[in-house]
Amino acid sequence: MPRSNKRTITIPNPIREGLVAQIQDGTLDYPSENAAWIGLARYQLIVGKPHAITVAIARMHPEDQDVIDDFLLEVASRGLSLRGQFLAHLVREAVSGADSPGEQEVGGLIPSELLRMAKAWKKDPEKVLAGLR
């Protein structure tokens, strides 16, 4: 039996293009796109935890997923990151007196915040992207 088998999967173009952009700019240090997809799958197998954020996005309406995917491509293509945006949002929630969110709440909060940012980006791209710099 061969060690690997070819499979066909459907990947939204913006997600693939964003991954390729991050490989090309060195954000992801994989030698190829194929190695990156395998590496991301290996990472999941090593960590072994459910990924509430991406699961929540996968359960969203396809049109909302498309808006998020287009936004993520733009962010990746410009070499920007969203890491600090979500931490800042959680800090604002905590400072406002909100209860500390648990892992499940964070899994729902971040996708909805991401969708809000993506929709705002659709309306005024430069304003939203300027906030990420």
pLDDT of residue 39: 96
Q: 22 is in which domain, residue-wise?
A: 13-130
Cα 133 from Cα 70, distance rounded (Å): 18
Asked whether residue 82 is assigned to any structural domain, the reply reads yes
Asked whether residue 29 is assigned to any structural domain, the reply reads yes
- pLDDT tens per residue across span 7-64: 899 999 999 999 999 999 999 999 999 999 999 999 999 999 888 888 999 999 999 9
pLDDT, mean over the chain:
86
Structural domain total, the chain: 1
Asked whether residue 6 is assigned to any structural domain, the reply reads no
Asked whether residue 117 is assigned to any structural domain, the reply reads yes
pLDDT of residue 1: 81
Burial track 110-131 (b if 16+ CB lie within 10 A, e otherwise): bbeebbebbeebeeeeeebeee
Is-contact 75 132, C-beta < 8 A? yes
Asked whether residue 52 is assigned to any structural domain, the reply reads yes
Asked whether residue 98 is assigned to any structural domain, the reply reads yes
Asked whether residue 54 is assigned to any structural domain, the reply reads yes
Asked whether residue 70 is assigned to any structural domain, the reply reads yes
- pLDDT tens per residue across span 72-121: 999 999 988 887 766 565 556 655 665 555 555 555 667 888 899 999 99
Whole-model pTM: value is 0.80
